[in-house]
A and B are shown apart, each in its own frame.
Chain A
């Protein structure tokens, strides 16, 4: 199985901060990576697919980059509604595997 290592596991930030989350695959997955936002009690929300393509309706402050084994999700200016958990998922091979998640908390 492909292991997805996500870091950090949590971070504290303030509104307006630039936030970067990374995800590393144990083997190459080309661009087959998605990022999700997850708030307690709600369904996960797709943010980015194909490593860098923004899902329709997602604010442009979110961006994704990377290919192969190393990927990044960036929030350019953190907004109050962005405090949540973020996780990556590879869809290059089965079984699909996920990063452990990054909890973004208010500083």
Chain B
């Protein structure tokens, strides 16, 4: 069955970077895109962008362009998301989720809590 497993919680200082991983299994990795969504405390869900494991193409939400990079490792069926120049308002639960062929998110990871604090 399809599984999406994310890396563990991180605590970072303002200005630092964080790289979250998302390892998938149970399907052919290159056939489906993967998206990233975050939820800050008390806030709604915010779409950050997505990546195609087939060719590495990415599309980032405007507010994250220049500060977020998504990459893939097809040898381990893993996608990564790096967020640079962290601020306190980047404190959030970050989710990775698979895009199915009809372009909605069908399988989600368990979330990775990133805390930015001095």
Checking B61, B105, B111 against A34 with a beta-carbon cut-off of 8 angstroms, the contacting residue is B105
Given A34-B104, A50-B102, A94-B59: A43 touches B45 (CB 8 Å cut-off): no
Size of the chain B interface, CB-CB below 8 angstroms:
22
**Residues of B contacting A55 in the complex (Cβ-Cβ under 8 angstroms):** 106
Checking A44, A45, A94, A100 against B95 with a beta-carbon cut-off of 8 angstroms, the contacting residue is A44
Given A34-B105, A49-B104, A91-B103: A98 touches B47 (CB 8 Å cut-off): yes
Compute how far the CA of A41 lies from the CA of B104 in the bound complex, rounded to whole angstroms. 22
Chain B contact residues: helix, strand, loop or mixed? strand
Size of the chain A interface, CB-CB below 8 angstroms:
22
**Residues of A contacting B109 in the complex (Cβ-Cβ under 8 angstroms):** 43
> CB within 8 Å of A: which residues of B?
4, 35, 37, 44-47, 59, 61-62, 95, 97, 102-111
> CB within 8 Å of B: which residues of A?
32, 34, 41-46, 49-50, 55, 87, 89, 91, 94-101
